[in-house]
Amino acid sequence: MKPDTSPTIKDVARVAGVSLATVSKVINNLPVGEKSRVKVEEAIKTLGYEANTFARALKSSKTYTVALVLPSLKHPFFAHLTDELTKSLMRRGYRALLMITNYDPMAEEKCFAMVRSNKADGAIALTYSPDLTVSGKMPLVTIDRHLGDDVPCVSSDNYRGGELAAKKLIGLGCRSLLHLRVTSGVPGEPDKRGAGFEFKCAAAGVPCRTIILSDRESDLPLFRFVEEHICNGQPEYDGIFCGSDLLACQILRFLHEHGVSVPEQVQIIGYDGIPDRMTGSVSCSTIEQPIAHMAEASVDLILNFNNTSVGANICLPVKYVPGGTTRDEPQASTE
C-alpha cells in the first residue's frame, strides 16, 4: 500500500478543538461529554474522516467484522442469502468476511479457528460438518441447522412450507403425490419440509411417495424414476413437490422434453422462491423463503449476541407463490 493522505485522528482533534483522547473515546463509543461528542462528530463529517478500523480493533476489541461461513455460492439459495447478509452488515457499518468451505468439514473447523484468531466479532454459518462442535468461545448464529441450545438458529418455517405445498397441490386437484429431494445427508431444518408434506397428505388421505437422493450420488436414479413413472404415457403421479426451485425446473424441463405437459398433466411446486433477476417473478410455483428477512434476523442476532437470550430459534413464515407450474394464476409475472 502506498501512504494514504486521508485525514487522521489528529486532524479531527485539531478541527474539533479537543484532545486526541477525546476523539478516541468518541470513535470507540466510550463515555465522553455531550458537547465534545458533537464537536468531534461534526469534525469527522467535515473532514470525511474514516477511522482506521484495524487500530480501532486493538483499542476497543471490536473489529466491526462478521465472518460468513458458507459451503458454496454455487447454489442460488446460498448466493442470495450471502448477498442479503452482506448488504445487511454493510448497512449497519459492519464488514462481511466471506469464507467458503466447499462442504468440507475440515475446512469448516479451520474457518472457525480463523474467525477466533482474526478476532471477528462473530460468525454466521451454514454448516455441513456432521459432527460440528462449537467451542462456545465465539458468538455464532447458524442458518438452517440447530447445533445446540447455546447457538441461535435462523430458518424459515420448513414444516409449514411442506404442509402448504401439499395443501395447494391437493386443493388444485392432485390425487397422487411425489416428493423429490436431494440432500447432503447432514440433518438440518429443511428435513422438516418432507415431514410437513407427508403429514398433510396423510391427513387428506392422498397417497404420497418420497424419494430422497444424496447429493453425492448421480441424479440418474431420480430422472429414471420420473421417466418410468410419469413419462410413460400414463403419469402415475399428478403432483410433485421438489426440495428446491432448481430441482423443480430440472424436472419441468425433463417432462417438457418427454412430452408431458405441465401443469395440465402434472403440477409442480418447488422450494426457495428465488425471483428471476430479469422478470422479477419466480421460475416455478414455489414455497418462498423470506431470504432477506432471514439475513436481517441473523445479523440482528449476531450483533446483539450478548444481549439476546441465547438459544433463540427464529423460524420465519413462508408463503406459497404460484409460478406457472400449477393450475392457478401466476403472481406478479410480466409474461
- Cβ closest to a copy of itself, residue 230 vs residue 252: 252
Exactly one of 8, 28, 41, 73 binds a copy of itself (CB under 8 A); which one?
Answer: 73
The owner of cell 480501532 is: 56
Q: Which of 201, 203, 202 is nearest to 174 (CA)?
A: 201
How far apart are alpha carbons 242 and 286 in whole angstroms? 9
What order do you get walking across the sheet with 319-321 strand by strand? 208-214, 177-183, 239-242, 267-272, 286-288, 319-321
Q: How far is the CB of 272 from a copy of itself (least distance, A)?
A: 12
Write out the binding residues for a copy of itself, residues 17-56 only, by CB under 8 A.
Answer: 50-55
Alpha helices in 279-335 (DSSP H): 291-303
Exactly one of 134, 138, 292, 312 binds a copy of itself (CB under 8 A); which one?
Answer: 138
Burial label, 325 (beta-carbon count in 10 A; 0-12, 13-18, 19+)? buried
- Cβ closest to a copy of itself, residue 50 vs residue 131: 50
Write out the binding residues for a copy of itself, residues 144-203 only, by CB under 8 A.
Answer: 182
Exactly one of 25, 39, 80, 193 binds a copy of itself (CB under 8 A); which one?
Answer: 80
Instruction: Kindly state whether residue 232 participates in binding a copy of itself, applying the rule CB under 8 A.
Output: no
Cell of 272: 426457495
- Cβ closest to a copy of itself, residue 29 vs residue 218: 218
Exactly one of 6, 19, 313, 331 binds a copy of itself (CB under 8 A); which one?
Answer: 6
How far apart are alpha carbons 86 and 291 in whole angstroms? 12
Instruction: Kindly state whether residue 99 participates in binding a copy of itself, applying the rule CB under 8 A.
Output: yes
Q: How far is the CB of 51 from a copy of itself (least distance, A)?
A: 7
Instruction: Kindly state whether residue 292 participates in binding a copy of itself, applying the rule CB under 8 A.
Output: no
How far apart are alpha carbons 150 and 310 in whole angstroms? 5
Q: Which of 254, 289, 284, 280 is nearest to 269 (CA)?
A: 284
Helix (H) or strand (E) holding 41: helix 34-47
Instruction: Kindly state whether residue 286 participates in binding a copy of itself, applying the rule CB under 8 A.
Output: no
Chain residues that interact with a copy of itself, rule: CB under 8 A: 1-2, 4, 6, 50-55, 57-58, 61-63, 65, 68, 72-76, 78-80, 82-83, 86-87, 90, 95-100, 102, 113-114, 116-119, 121-122, 137-139, 182, 215, 218-220, 223, 246-247, 249-250, 252-254, 256, 274, 276-279, 334-335
